[in-house]
Amino acid sequence: MKEKTPRQIVELLDKYIVGQDEAKKLVAIALYNRYRRSQLPEDLQKDITPKNILMAGPTGVGKTEIARRLADIVEAPFVKVEATKFTEVGYVGRDVESMVRDLANEAVRIVEKEEFAKVEGQALREANKTLVRLLVPGVKTNNRQNQMQQMQAMMDSLLSGKGMPEEQEEVTDEVRNKRLSVAEKLERGLLENEEVTIEVEQANKVNPMGDMMGQMGMDMSALSDLMPKKKVKRTLPVSQARKLLIQEEEHKLVDYDAIYQKAIERASQSGIIFIDEIDKITAAGQRNSGEVSREGVQRDILPIIEGSTVSTKYGPLPTDHILFIAAGAFAESKPSDLIPELQGRFPIRVELNALKKEDFVKILKDPQNSLLKQYIALLKADGVDLVFTAEAVDKIAEIAYDVNQGTDNIGARRLATILEKLLEEVLYEGPDMEMGQITITQAYVEQKLSDIVKNKDLTKFIL
């Protein structure tokens, strides 16, 4: 697939995010530079490190949304983490290396999906063969092996990860003819609702101890992979059973050593880590000496961004060429409150602008799945056509802007609060209304919201 140019990346971001053109441009350039670097000689590639980005701006202006949409746009391992989840080494909480392990997991998931797509046809054929055998079982034969041989065969099968050995069966001419008939019906999709009993691997139960160990930086998932998988019987329609059998066959057909090697390579060369809320780990305003040191968290993050090698269950993952994008509101602090070494690792700075009334109007109408389009679709499910007049949209945007100025400025998130209050009655009555059209006018908006906007105490609690 052809690599997207910076202009194409910005165009895709424009579908979901209003304004913030400078931030979109810088992110698009940083992403495309990964492709440029991959075209260079290998000895030069080593010296070209990514130019990490620090985005600063008020809450609700699109910093996190850029990260969310990037994950859909880039065909590279991408993880978003909250800086506030991490704690200094020696305290209970997620250690900073877990972000790199998360990136490795995401890379494996992407490569695994690609490899599964290559063997899907073969897996489907094998799954259909298994379904035919289950729908028309053969005649069970008495196995005359002695008990010792049976036990040995069982142990060999379990150790090789194949589960319990299958019982021996005899395929008579009658069974063979029935299977041919069933195979033909399966091919034509006539048995999709027939029920069949299959054996599937039991889902891993959540282990609180494993989560606690993970917080202390110990990856316990590798231990669970060594344990033999327990199989359970489930009765399902053929259509659902086929999906599970295809997954099982795909796991058998792919080479996991090659997948892990490819995933580590991809994560290290084109991985992206988005660190949100980075302003919350600045030392500004930290008074209580008993708190976990925020500066300590920064010092723990520093070597990962500078370039180090992190051990994952798939192998060592160097972080030298991972792109880091950090974002924060910096309402009670400023980027210069970060430790100097960390500031130096984010050479590209971009400030996102606070939203104006015109931006709110665009946010309500323009994005691909804008808020207004979402509410129109929700009420369409009740057979109600919801229509907003241009004046009503203008008034909603004006109220959102005024409330943000008069109370805490929470950016575009204010629109969701206002629309919920405005449409409360319509959403409640919607299922009981007859098919018809509801038009939201400027007068309706004023009637529903003006009193609340005028009363500052009500505004604080309701909007």
**Was 307 annotated as part of a binding site?**
no
**Was 18 annotated as part of a binding site?**
yes
**Was 102 annotated as part of a binding site?**
no
In residues, how long is the chain? 463
**Was 276 annotated as part of a binding site?**
yes
**Was 257 annotated as part of a binding site?**
no
Angle, vertex CA 331, rays to CA 329 and CA 332, nearest 5: 130
**Was 61 annotated as part of a binding site?**
yes
Binding site per annotation, positions: 18, 60-65, 276, 341, 413
Binding site per annotation, positions for ATP: 18, 60-65, 276, 341, 413
